[in-house]
Structure 1
Amino acid sequence: MDALVSIEWLANELGAASGVGDLRIVDATYAEGRDAAAEYEAAHIPGAVFMNLSELRDTDSDLPNTLPSAEKFASRMQTLGLGDGSRIVLYDSSPWHTSARAWWLLRLFGAHNVAILDGGLAKWQAKGREIATGKETPRHRHFTTWADLKGVRDL
């Protein structure tokens, strides 16, 4: 799977009768001053789950957005239904393009098949694609972390 996928690619994958692989869609919107979770519940790509990026940090640190522990990260991914072998497509509706942070975190902690949806939710809607509301209830999955922290520096 490419690191950037198109609206058409995702629509085709969602419509595939065979359900090839374990495709998971994740709304990774974070925007200060907005309730991203409520926005997700009001409109999201069918099957998407909401990843709360503010929970994916080290809450014991005084610094913002530091890395969570591998255990915390794995626990959150399992709750979202993301597991070993999942093909994960991320999108956001944030001015900060926060799906890129989610992509980096997933790759850092061992997920290999991760992509960002080109154009995100806005382009999905502009193309007249189906929109879902409410919360999705994912099936709990096992997520094995393989953190490669060589490229991470701390203070």
Structure 2
Amino acid sequence: MSTLKITSPLVSASWLAEHLSEPELVVLDATWFLPDSGRDAQKEWQEKRIPNARFFDFDKRIAHPAASFPHMLPEPEHFAREVELLGISSQSKIVVYDSQGIFSAPRVWWMFRVMGHSQVAVLDGGLPAWEVASQPIESGSPTTFSSGEFRAEYQPHWVIDGDGLLEKLNSPDIQVLDARAAARFYGTQPEPRKGVRSGHMPSAKSLPFGQLLKDGHFLPPEQLKKRFDAVSDIDQRLIFSCGSGVTACILALAAELSGRERITVYDGSWTEWGATNKYPVVL
């Protein structure tokens, strides 16, 4: 029986290489590109991936089918059904990566945490780090696998919607941190999506996700702690927002690595907030 246990939300390429053959380990490719990139993440996964990695499509397939905004979190039953088709069970130990280093993989880490699954980690440095370490690459038709049995146990403290955030926006107990580029936060650069206002939420602070990374890897925990201590109090609940709920999860993972415990992601993020006139916006 496997005794594999994930003890950190971040693992190295060497750790993954050492444990890649463990029967309970599932590797997920969570690569996602911005809509105007012209790139096809699933096609690139078919061409180059970590051996036995399964493609996790949080943009279309494992997303709320009726949501008005991009890749919104699905209902627990939908999530469980889809991850079972990927061969994931409640006993699975999951490592998520993306092809850009650290970009979209933390979104899937966060989704599993929302659904009550703690045995999940992100590969630090992603596919580039795996290749730099001269580890094997697979291409062609993926390996087949049996369906799993996954029980989703929804954890509401990990996620918040727009109305819930509006109610708490002026509370000293919370701090909203925005992962978008500073130019978008301050409204000097227009939003890429039509109909979305420029600016930021009242009382929010800017923390562009790139400030938490170096060369596609997370900064050391002590440096991450300094970043968060500079923009929030240690006992505040941190609520993370970005453009559409992807890079906010980079901040969420960084906060956990830094030792923060009260972590929440605003799923709709600026795509929802900026497009909804009842939500206040400042420059």
Settle same-fold status: TM greater than 0.5. Answer: yes
- The partner residue of 2:30 within 20, 25, 28 is 28
Q: Which amino acid aligns with 1:104?
A: W
Counterpart-to-counterpart distance in 1, 2:159 and 2:14: 35
Counterpart-to-counterpart distance in 1, 2:127 and 2:68: 33
Over 4 Å off, 4+ runs: none
* Correspondence 1:42 to 2:18: no
Counterpart-to-counterpart distance in 1, 2:102 and 2:123: 15
Deviations 1:58-86 (A, max 9, x none): 12121223210111100110011111111
Contact 2:113 2:158 survives alignment (8 Å): no
Residue 134 (structure 2) aligns with: 128
Deviations 1:29-80 (A, max 9, x none): 0113311111001010111101011122212121223210111100110011
Aligned sequence identity (%): 35
* Correspondence 1:9 to 2:15: yes
Residue 153 (structure 1) aligns with: 160
Normalised TM-score (structure 1): 0.90
1:95–1:48 Cα change, 3 Å: closer
Residue 66 (structure 2) aligns with: 60
Work out which of the two has the higher radius of gyration on C-alpha atoms and give 1 or 2.
2
Following TM superposition, by how much is the alpha carbon of 1:96 offset from its aligned partner in structure 2, in angstroms? 6.8
Counterpart-to-counterpart distance in 2, 1:146 and 1:94: 30
- The partner residue of 1:74 within 80, 85, 108 is 80
Counterpart-to-counterpart distance in 2, 1:25 and 1:140: 15
Normalised TM-score (structure 2): 0.51
Aligned-residue Cα RMSD (Å) equals: 1.6
Following TM superposition, by how much is the alpha carbon of 1:138 offset from its aligned partner in structure 2, in angstroms? 2.3
With a CA cutoff of 8 Å and minimum separation of 6, indicate the structure with the bigger relative contact order. 1
Following TM superposition, by how much is the alpha carbon of 1:95 offset from its aligned partner in structure 2, in angstroms? 7.3
1:4–1:56 Cα change, 3 Å: same
- The partner residue of 2:99 within 73, 78, 93 is 93
Residue 139 (structure 1) aligns with: 146
Matches within 5 A, 1:108-127: 108-127=114-133
Give the total of aligned pairs.
Answer: 151
Moved more, 6-15 or 101-110: 6-15
